Structure 1
């Protein structure tokens, strides 16, 4: 939810902060930089318990992601995006590694289910904010919300006097956006609170390294781990790594940008209302989630995994 709610509200945040589409989009660049830093934060595990690290990081993602409507300027939004991105990057990298560590070669289906949870959040987030967004009210796709009508005035004369520029600043968008962002932030801190309770009640202890003929630490399985060796020359391995990296970069870029900017695109290109655009975004996220769920079922059937 924290990752997709920005795209659904980008137009409203633009007018709230009185900035341009180009400048508001740069907040995602700041978030990407923070995400990169967060994904490299694994070295902190040497000094801080990993559970406490994740508690802090996920709290950062939830809290700073919920502060967007309270930002007084675009620079504050950049800062909140960057800090929230650090938390998201730390969680995204740690959660996958943690699952592989606990479940070893049985982790495939669980990793797919983890992505299903991301998909569910992508569905729910836009649906929550969809009831509060107005979008560009000068576009033909505006819903003509009753609150907007009351704020503009009930007379035709009042509407005529409001220019295309003024109409988008005639409503207090901040008061409309704060409730859904607060809801998502509160829901987001449930996970770190649960992790903190687990840390106090039953602290997780990382398994000790072992040789390739014994279990390397799956807490649920005694089966040996299959070791995959990359063969070929050093240059071949480097080329393979480069190709895989470019593939992941391309896919991640398409996925992130479409989830982030599609709602805005629908409003301006297809003249949809902001509420309808968020609904379309949720429907797209639903297909994403369904695909992940199918992948999880296939992984379970192929591996014969039993939980």
Structure 2
């Protein structure tokens, strides 16, 4: 099935589900809306990362991924600003407070904004549908064959403008060589795919938890910030989060993904340490929250660019990766939601454990790839010497 048509359907489903959430009359209705939103966002998250890496292969994908996530960061700024006039300054468990009527307007605005995506995709498809040039997998090959057969069956006397195609990569031979090199050993390649999949999953769920549960965490720590104060702090966090991605767009042109990941892990650990020891004081809470926001800002796009250096992120593999992200995202937020009101410290604990595990996986992958590259270089040098 054509990728653009699939994205049009599922991004429209995501927009409709968002607008219907505050109109839920029962818990089942709400779960159905959340399911529709999660299904649409999962399909989009999977497809657009593959799409970008496909059009800008190798190291060239890093700045584009950072730029796309920068646009997402802009949305995280305007979202809390939109919600703030409709929030109440009481805790969530306060009696006799009805939030549904006040939440309908912002949810409808956000749902209508999300509809811009499928409309633009439909316009792009009608004007110049995208055709894959590099057929990485069987699904893409069938899509390309279908397009070719459709064009060949049309009238030969009619002159048509060829649709835009993914550029043929001629400048990233080292990346392709690395992919072939790691695929040469099935066990090593499978292990690498598993490690990268779990690394992306841990970064994804940590990023998701940090932004979405931070307002709840701020309201239940001993300081007990009001909902309005929490929304203000979340907006400031989103600003730093977005600024970090804007800065990394320029940095990723010069630095490789593994370097960006390395110093952002360190910044993230520093921010978590500040939050852990200073959550009873507002200024330390503010400083730690901003440092963690900057630490998270570039991790997700950088880890996708990093993975693209060693494995082919095809539609199928990206689906496996997103499914793994869904497994993390279905368990850890549920656990956090059960206990965050009684034990707000579990919020930082989960993020810290995920961060440490992610660092360990990243170091393991770095060791594996460095060892494999060294071995390959040594073998090549030996063969050249023998031939000489």
Q: TM-score range by the shorter chain?
A: 0.5 to 0.7
Q: Which residue of 1 aligns with 2:47?
A: 94
Contact preservation (8 Å) 2:91, 2:219 = no
Unaligned runs of 5+ in 1: 1-46, 140-164, 211-216
Contact preservation (8 Å) 1:138, 1:168 = no
Q: Which residue of 2 aligns with 1:14?
A: none
Q: Which residue of 2 aligns with 1:267?
A: 219
Which residue, 170, 175, 187 being the options, matches 1:223?
170
Q: Which residue of 2 aligns with 1:124?
A: 78
- Larger helix percent: 2
1:178 alignment partner, SS class: helix
Q: Which residue of 2 aligns with 1:291?
A: 244
Instruction: Kindly indicate whether residue 100 of structure 2 is the aligned counterpart of residue 174 of structure 1.
Output: yes
Aligned 1:158-197 pairs, distance under 5 A? 168-170=95-97, 172-197=98-123
Contact preservation (8 Å) 1:103, 1:221 = no
Contact preservation (8 Å) 1:104, 1:218 = no
- Distance (whole Å) between structure 2 residues aligned to residue 116 and residue 81 of structure 1: 25
1:79 alignment partner, SS class: helix
Give the direction of change, closer, same or farther, for the CA distance of 1:290–1:249 in structure 2 (3 Å limit). Answer: same
Aligned 1:65-214 pairs, distance under 5 A? 65-105=18-58, 106-134=60-88, 137=90, 168-170=95-97, 172-209=98-135
Larger displacement relative to structure 2 (284-293 or 92-101): 284-293
Q: How many residue pairs get matched?
A: 222
- Distance (whole Å) between structure 1 residues aligned to residue 247 and residue 85 of structure 2: 30
Q: Over residues 213-254 of structure 1, what are the superposed CA-to-partner deviations in whole Å (9 max), with x where a residue is unaligned?
A: xxxx97457634420221675443343333333333322222
Give the direction of change, closer, same or farther, for the CA distance of 1:103–1:239 in structure 2 (3 Å limit). Answer: closer
| Cα offset, 1:301, TM superposition | 3.5
Contact preservation (8 Å) 1:101, 1:218 = no
- Distance (whole Å) between structure 2 residues aligned to residue 288 and residue 280 of structure 1: 12
Which residue, 200, 204, 209 being the options, matches 1:257?
209
- Distance (whole Å) between structure 2 residues aligned to residue 62 and residue 86 of structure 1: 11
The normalised TM-score by structure 2 is 0.52
Give the direction of change, closer, same or farther, for the CA distance of 1:300–1:272 in structure 2 (3 Å limit). Answer: same
- Give runs of ≥4 in structure 1 deviating > 6 Å: none
- Distance (whole Å) between structure 1 residues aligned to residue 10 and residue 67 of structure 2: 21
2:205 alignment partner, SS class: helix
The normalised TM-score by structure 1 is 0.65
Give the direction of change, closer, same or farther, for the CA distance of 1:138–1:289 in structure 2 (3 Å limit). Answer: closer
Instruction: Kindly indicate whether residue 230 of structure 2 is the aligned counterpart of residue 277 of structure 1.
Output: yes
Q: Over residues 135-179 of structure 1, what are the superposed CA-to-partner deviations in whole Å (9 max), with x where a residue is unaligned?
A: 6x268xxxxxxxxxxxxxxxxxxxxxxxxx7x6324x42221111
Of structures 1 and 2, the one scoring higher in RCO (CA 8 A, sep 6+) is 1
Q: Over residues 250-296 of structure 1, what are the superposed CA-to-partner deviations in whole Å (9 max), with x where a residue is unaligned?
A: 22222111212111111121311112111211211222222222221
| Cα offset, 1:192, TM superposition | 0.9
Unaligned runs of 5+ in 2: 137-163, 257-388
Larger displacement relative to structure 2 (173-182 or 102-111): 102-111
- Distance (whole Å) between structure 2 residues aligned to residue 202 and residue 250 of structure 1: 37
Give the direction of change, closer, same or farther, for the CA distance of 1:98–1:245 in structure 2 (3 Å limit). Answer: closer
1:131 alignment partner, SS class: helix
Give the direction of change, closer, same or farther, for the CA distance of 1:78–1:207 in structure 2 (3 Å limit). Answer: same
1:128 alignment partner, SS class: helix
Give the direction of change, closer, same or farther, for the CA distance of 1:299–1:265 in structure 2 (3 Å limit). Answer: same
